[in-house]
Amino acid sequence: MPALLEIKNVVKNYDGKTPVLEGVSLELNKGEVIVLIGPSGCGKSTLLRCINGLEAIQAGEICLEGKAIDYNKKDLTGLRQKIGMVFQSYELFPHMTILDNIILAPTKVAGVDKENAKREAMELLEKVGLAHKAKAYPRELSGGQKQRVAIARAVVNKPSVLLLDEPLGALDLMLRRQMQTELKKLQKALGITFIYITHDQEEALNMSSRIVVMRNGKIEQTGTPSEVYDTPKTAFVAEFVGGANLYKEGEKIFAIRSEHVRLGVGDYAGVVTENSFMAGLSKVKVRLRDGQEITSSHMGMNIDLNIGDEISVGWDKNDMVEVEGEK
């Protein structure tokens, strides 16, 4: 059986020369939640826009259920019913009620009769806790409610794949956490495959069944959240995901998670250069004799360490992960 969606060697530029996607390949199976992360400008949004035909690709191929998608077709409506998209900016029609926003595509495009479309829309609104707002207009809703409607509208077509470009990016932290849980539930219940962009690391680790780390138009590493976190392949991934220490020993570079660095005991002598406490986590930065800086973190308030104090640090050899790339 072919994968649900196969992205094969996709190449994209906007100006005929500067590559934005440089041969991106990725396979997705039914029910997966793939989270794309990477620095701003690395090509995440472009990849999503290429998948649903908002942007043309210059080379490569994207297959849905084993068949290459024909992006040259004039009318991509059929494709967009199978591959839906949700943006950070909601994009609801302001002059239409919530219910009408949701039933627009099923009735006008998919030919579902109005009563059935309404029934399905109401079921979805029920699921996202907004049945009581069916007759309201978008302006009467909060940001979080609007995003719930946008999601309901995107899933009412029963797409096989839903592309979500920072869907919760405009919401405050509390609401974002709550919506993550709701989105996960909805995704499980509907069995829709998600490709999800976020710049929130916790959200990425929390939402995904697989994380894809992109850099400069290429995929740097793909794996489960714990694979990417515990065994980064490159120095870039180690630093980008969870900010690991990079420690150079001879010619080799190792990633060492700050929670694995012990303070006060160990083989390396150094001097405290920073001591901070944020969100329940203490972080102490120590400059070692050879000039390398190592951060140690642990839960709870820190014992009184001052900048300039001499201290030794250490870690288990098992917690050193050799990585490729440069420090």
Minimum distance from CB of 42 to ligand ADP (Å)? 4
CA distance 50 to 47: 5
Within 8 A by CB and 6+ apart from 58, the residues are: 11, 12, 13
Nearest to ligand ADP of 168, 263 (CB atom): 168
Q: By the 8 A CB rule, do 67 and 4 touch?
A: no
CA distance 264 to 244: 20
Nearest to ligand ADP of 36, 149 (CB atom): 36
Within 8 A by CB and 6+ apart from 1, the residues are: none
Closest CA relative to residue 7, chosen from 62, 83, 59: 62
Expressed in angstroms, the distance from the first to the final Cα of the chain is 42
State the pairing for strand pair 210-215/67-68.
unpaired
Instruction: Give the residues lining the site for ligand ADP (CB under 6 A).
Output: 14, 20, 38, 40-46
Minimum distance from CB of 41 to ligand ADP (Å)? 4
Minimum distance from CB of 43 to ligand ADP (Å)? 5
Using alpha carbons, list the distances in angstroms from residue 207 to 33, 128, 202, 233: 7, 17, 8, 21
Q: In what order do the strands lie in the sheet with 293-299?
A: 293-299, 281-288, 262-278, 310-314
Q: By the 8 A CB rule, do 163 and 52 touch?
A: yes
Minimum distance from CB of 21 to ligand ADP (Å)? 8
Nearest to ligand ADP of 169, 225 (CB atom): 169
Minimum distance from CB of 264 to ligand ADP (Å)? 41
- The string of DSSP letters for 166-200 reads STTTTS-HHHHHHHHHHHHHHHHHHT-EEEEE-S-
Nearest to ligand ADP of 45, 245 (CB atom): 45
Minimum distance from CB of 110 to ligand ADP (Å)? 29
Nearest to ligand ADP of 183, 197 (CB atom): 197
The residue with tokens 């300039």 is 308
Minimum distance from CB of 134 to ligand ADP (Å)? 34
Nearest to ligand ADP of 170, 321 (CB atom): 170
Nearest to ligand ADP of 22, 100 (CB atom): 22
